[in-house]
């Protein structure tokens, strides 16, 4: 099992399909360098010095073993190409999360193979793209992911996600969204899987400039610090020798109905 140090400056890799930006002029107008670049720039603005990006069309989707070994926190944005992500890469990411790498899943990444495997549920929800206003209320103000945010984040236009969100009960609920149409949604949820910490954060539809919003950037930066691996107890599995001497085994077989 890989053991991680406790990094004071987490190494972050931002992964994005980078499909919409090539195919939809509305998206490329908002994110001319790609959603991943906007997220990486936001992290750099918050003092992160080792931020890399990776995209679907790179060999092994840019997530080779070497890249993941040098990643403390992986940020994941996906939407239309979930099925194109190679299962081998998914397994590699899952193994790293269980060993302690942090994972931040954004917006429609709720349907990614990685997130669905970690949750063990369908991860479905209601949705509507109709320029709803979104107000993300902080419901756990003491949590470090909410630091510096205030009472809420208001986005003037976003895609609506509505309950029921088919996920397990989160370890911690940090944000709940309200939309103009009346729906609410659990928009900031944390989970622990193995030694890894996972944060799902809802905002980020590709046709809106959400990843330039100061509050959203603050949350992602906070989450990257929170999700970074810490020095924790090792996980041990499988057959092992006893720590203390065991009494000699009884030679006589136990007959049915008898007790040792």
Is residue 180 assigned to a domain?
A: no
CA separation (Å) from 250 to 184, 246, 247, 258? 63, 12, 9, 14
Residues linked to residue 152 through DSSP beta bridges, in sequence order: 137
**28 in any annotated domain:** yes
Percent of the chain with pLDDT over 90: 87
Whether 146 maps to a domain, the answer reads: no
Kindly state the tokens that stand for 107: 């917006």
Q: What is the pLDDT of residue 224?
A: 98
Q: What contacts 220, CB < 8 A, 6 or more positions away? A: 39, 42, 43, 75, 104, 106, 201
pLDDT at 100 over 70: yes
Q: How many structural domains compose the chain?
A: 1
Does an H or E element contain 154, and which? strand 152-162
Which of 26-30, 46-50, 234-238 comes out lowest in average pLDDT?
234-238
Residue 48, in any domain of the structure: yes
pLDDT digits (tens, 9 = 90+) for 158-211: 999 999 999 999 999 999 999 999 999 999 999 999 999 999 999 999 999 999
Domain assignment present for residue 171? The answer is no
What is the pairing mode between strands 196-201 and 102-106? parallel
Kindly tell me if the per-residue pLDDT of 255 is higher than 90: no
Q: Does 178 fall in a domain?
A: no
Categorize the per-residue pLDDT at 4 as very low, low, confident or very high, splitting at 50, 70 and 90. Answer: very low
Are 89 and 28 in contact by the 8 Å Cβ rule? The answer is no
The b-or-e profile of 106-144 (16+ CB within 10 A means b, else e) is: bbbbbbbbbbbbbbeeebebeeeeeebebbbbbbeeebe
Confidence of residue 41 (pLDDT cuts 50, 70, 90): very high
Note the pLDDT of residue 1: 36
Exposed/middle/buried for residue 237 (C-beta within 10 Å: 0-12, 13-18, 19+): exposed
Mean pLDDT, residues 135-152 taken together:
98
Show the domain range for 114: 12-120+187-227
Q: Considering the domain boundaries, does residue 25 fall inside one?
A: yes
The pLDDT of residue 158? 98
The answer to whether 108 and 35 have CB atoms below 8 angstroms apart is: no
Whether the pLDDT of residue 6 is over 60: the answer is no
Q: What is the CATH classification number for the domain harbouring 202?
A: 3.40.50.880
| pLDDT beyond 50 at 87 | yes
Position 230 scores a pLDDT of: 87
């Amino acid at each position: 099992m890989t053991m991680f140090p406790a990094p004071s400056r987490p190494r972050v890799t931002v992964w994005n399909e980078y499909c919409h930006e090539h195919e939809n002029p509305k998206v490329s107008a908002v994110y001319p360098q790609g959603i991943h670049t906007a997220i990486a720039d936001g992290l750099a603005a918050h003092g992160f010095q080792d931020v890399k990006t990776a995209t679907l069309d790179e060999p092994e989707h840019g997530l080779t073993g070497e890249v993941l070994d040098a990643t403390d926190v992986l940020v994941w944005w996906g939407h239309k190409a979930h099925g194109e992500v190679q299962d081998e890469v998914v397994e590699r990411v899952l193994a790293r999360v269980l060993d302690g790498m942090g994972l931040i899943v954004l917006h429609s990444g709720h349907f990614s193979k990685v997130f669905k495997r970690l949750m063990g549920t369908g991860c479905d929800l209601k949705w509507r793209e109709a320029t709803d206003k979104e107000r993300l209320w902080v419901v756990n103000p003491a949590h470090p992911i909410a630091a510096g945010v205030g009472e809420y984040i208001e986005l003037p236009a976003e895609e609506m996600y509505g309950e029921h969100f088919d996920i397990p009960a989160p370890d911690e609920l940090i944000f709940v969204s309200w939309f103009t149409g009346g729906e609410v949604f659990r928009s900031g949820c944390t989970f622990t899987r193995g030694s890894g910490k996972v944060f799902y954060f809802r905002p980020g539809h590709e046709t809106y400039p959400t990843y330039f919003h100061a509050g959203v950037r603050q949350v992602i930066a906070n989450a990257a610090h929170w999700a970074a691996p810490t020095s924790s107890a090792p996980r041990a599995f499988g057959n092992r020798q006893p720590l203390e001497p065991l009494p000699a085994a009884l030679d006589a077989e136990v007959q049915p109905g008898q007790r040792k």
